[in-house]
Amino acid sequence: MSDTDHDYCLIDVSRPPKADGPPYAECVLCREPTEYPESYKGVTLCPVCEWREAERTSCSG
Ligand SMILES: [Zn+2]
């Protein structure tokens, strides 16, 4: 329980760079190709999983 949790609606996500073309990195959740370059070091999510994660982590009101 923390008061700072209420401020978490503002998610400052540093987006990975969009790839100019293949090879694309795989989604870490469903293994679908993402829009991110394979060389990207970090968590890559396909548009679907990215959207779901955003829904899950966003402020539910
Ligand atoms: Zn996915």
DSSP letters along 12-59, please?
---PPPPPSSSSEEEPTTT--EEEEETT--S----HHHHHHHHHHHS-
pTM over 0.85: no
pLDDT at 58: 84
pLDDT at 43: 92
Domain regions of the chain by residue span: 21-61
User: 36: CA distance to ligand 1 center in Å?
Assistant: 12
pLDDT at 57: 87
User: 8: CA distance to ligand 1 center in Å?
Assistant: 24
What are the pLDDT tens digits along the chain (61 aa)?
A: 555 555 555 555 566 688 999 999 999 999 999 999 999 999 999 999 999 999 988 876 5
